């Protein structure tokens, strides 16, 4: 299973903003340069994060992006749900009707346990916790 670049880059963006929490807004171009991520790609991710209320922006010469709440209150599980949605590694976990083998599938429990493990791991982490490591 691979984690999408959307989630990885979004998380790196938020970790950068967490590192600057309380110090003022950060320019997206600075984050893009620091993280070696396309600014255009980050702009797409920012739209989703702003809509969800995790970040905000100010305009002007001292403008940029900033977190809307303390990094210790932003859980990785919430970021994942905003950027990716489901933890299910296979579609049939979210939509059992698409599978004709749902009642007899020998691997369904494996996929369900994987989703639960990922969810538990992400639920126990915050942006602040990532900064400490």
User: pLDDT value at position 1?
Assistant: 64
What's residue 24's pLDDT?
92
Number of domains in the chain: 1
Look at residue 85 in the predicted model and tell me its pLDDT.
86
pLDDT at 61: 80
Write down the pLDDT at residue 17.
Answer: 97
- Segment-wise mean pLDDT, segments of 10 residues, the chain, 133 residues: 89 96 94 94 96 94 92 96 88 84 87 90 94 80
Range of the domain at 91: 5-132
CATH number at residue 71: 1.10.10.10
In SS3 terms, the chain reads as CCCCHHHHHHHHHHHHHHHCCCCCCECHHHHHHHHCCCHHHHHHHHHHHHHCCCEEEECCCCCEEEECCCHHHCEHHHHHHHHCCCCCCCHHHHCHHHCCCCCCCCCHHHHHHHHHHHHHHHHCCEHHHHHHC
Given this model, what pLDDT does residue 100 score? 84
């Amino acid at each position: 299973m691979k984690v999408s670049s959307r989630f990885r880059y979004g998380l790196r963006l938020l970790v950068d903003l967490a590192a600057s929490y309380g110090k003022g807004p950060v320019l997206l171009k600075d984050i893009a340069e620091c993280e070696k991520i396309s600014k255009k790609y980050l702009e797409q991710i920012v739209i989703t994060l702003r809509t969800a209320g995790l970040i905000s922006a100010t305009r002007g010469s001292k403008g940029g992006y900033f977190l809307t709440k303390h990094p210790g209150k932003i859980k990785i599980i919430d970021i994942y749900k905003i950027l990716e949605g489901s933890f299910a590694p296979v579609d049939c976990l979210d939509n059992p009707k698409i599978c004709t083998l749902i009642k007899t599938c020998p691997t369904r429990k494996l996929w369900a346990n994987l989703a639960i493990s990922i969810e538990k791991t992400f639920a126990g982490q915050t942006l602040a916790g990532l900064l400490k490591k």
